Amino acid sequence: MAFFYRIFTLMFVLLIFCISSSTAQVDIEPASEITKETFQERVDTGDLLLVNFVGPGCKNCKEFAPIFNRVNTELLRESSEVKAVVVNDMETVRRFDIRKIPSVVLFRKSIPILYEGHNEAEEIFEWIGESKNVQGRYLNDDDFEHLTQASTGSTTGDWLVQFCDPERPQCEALIASWEAVAYRLKGKVNVATVDISKNPNLVKRFSVAIERTPYVVFIKDEKLYKLHRKMIYAPSIQLENFMSVGYTESRVFKVPKERTFFDDLTESIANKLKETQASVPGLFVIIAVCLVVLSLVLCKVFCGGSSSRGFGSKGPKKGV
């Protein structure tokens, strides 16, 4: 009798355990779906926003939904400042150059970073904790050379720098993946951005063509390597391989020196002359003729004067 009592007790305990486990699974809180307008408003306010980008009729998105909901549940359980949402809008997906759906992107102070790990709730949750801060750096005319030591010897490490205009759609589309590159290369390569709309000296120094941005260079040991456009939009693991060994097969350029006051003055004079030439045809010819005439006059004055003193003057008379 005692044996059957133990068996019954064990079965009851197992039943209670199964019921409690199933109840725990039911407590999963699904992430709410928001419109693209609400999404933009929340991004603009600088909220920490974890977004699951999905699309209509996407089978993989439905399979990933329970995983993302587990992440959302854990964020809610910990009262995290990161809020998880779902955005189902292909226009927004294209805007951020998201190559596949579903894709998870974390927005921090309006700056996105693309998640490139496995579709596992624990890994995503760990990545969120490591990515709350912006990964890449922002350089400007005043601190570029001081921080990079680009033309004086790379004492601050190697630098991967993109020159970009935030207003260009091509540049906006690169932000999320660029932050993912900075996250992956942390501790190996310094990843930075130069806003060309605010830093004209760096635009001139590196001869950046605005219409060809984003423009990316790798600076290592006073040498510069230009990245092909296909490489710029490649997954971060390919960029990491390029930083390791791939750059050795690229054409090498010397890092341009900092621009001086004389450089700016010379360029300004040249530009003024070009503008004047456009308004006065043949101006350069007139200037050249004037310079030739001036040279001949000066030559006549100095060379001719000394010549007449040397050969035209009479010597002293002989005494009688």
Q: Rounded to an integer, what distance in angstroms lies between the CA atom of residue 65 and that of residue 53?
A: 11
% of the chain exceeding 70 in pLDDT? 77
- pLDDT bracket for residue 11 (50, 70, 90): low
Contact, 263 vs 207, CB < 8 A? no
The C-alpha angle 87, 88, 94, rounded to 5 degrees, equals 90
Contact, 84 vs 71, CB < 8 A? yes
Using the 8-state DSSP alphabet, how is residue 301 labeled? I
- pLDDT bracket for residue 283 (50, 70, 90): low
Could you tell me the two tokens for 208? 């950046």
More confident residue, 102 or 239: 102
Q: 93-127 burial, b if ≥16 CB within 10 A, otherwise e?
A: beebbbeebbbbbbbbeebbbbbbeeeebeebbeb
Q: Rounded to an integer, what distance in angstroms lies between the CA atom of residue 320 and that of residue 308?
A: 28
Angle between helix 121-130 and 59-77 (nearest 10): 60
- pLDDT bracket for residue 26 (50, 70, 90): very low
Mean pLDDT over the full length of the chain: 83
Say which range, 60-69, 213-222, 283-292, has the weakest mean pLDDT. Answer: 283-292
Name every residue whose Cβ is closer than 8 Å to that of residue 248 and which is 6 or more positions away in sequence.
none
pLDDT > 60? residue 35 = yes
Token pair 């040249």: residue? 270
pLDDT at 311 (0 to 100): 44
pLDDT > 80? residue 253 = yes
Q: Rounded to an integer, what distance in angstroms lies between the CA atom of residue 280 and that of residue 196?
A: 33
pLDDT at 265 (0 to 100): 57
% of the chain exceeding 90 in pLDDT? 54
pLDDT at 112 (0 to 100): 95
- pLDDT bracket for residue 195 (50, 70, 90): very high
In 3D space, the residue among 216, 220, 203, 213 whose CA is nearest the CA of residue 254 turns out to be: 220
Name every residue whose Cβ is closer than 8 Å to that of residue 280 and which is 6 or more positions away in sequence.
none
| Per-residue model confidence as pLDDT tens digits over 207-222 | 999 888 999 999 998 8
More confident residue, 6 or 19: 6
Is pTM beyond 0.75 here? no
- pLDDT bracket for residue 291 (50, 70, 90): confident
- Phi and psi dihedrals of 207, rounded to 5? 50, 55
- pLDDT bracket for residue 194 (50, 70, 90): very high
Say which range, 22-36, 143-157, 190-204, 224-238, has the weakest mean pLDDT. Answer: 22-36
pLDDT at 150 (0 to 100): 86
| Per-residue model confidence as pLDDT tens digits over 106-133 | 999 899 999 999 999 999 999 999 999 8
- pLDDT bracket for residue 268 (50, 70, 90): low
Say which range, 55-59, 126-130, 253-257, 293-297, has the weakest mean pLDDT. Answer: 293-297
Which residues, listed in sequence order, are joined to residue 113 by a DSSP beta bridge? Answer: 106
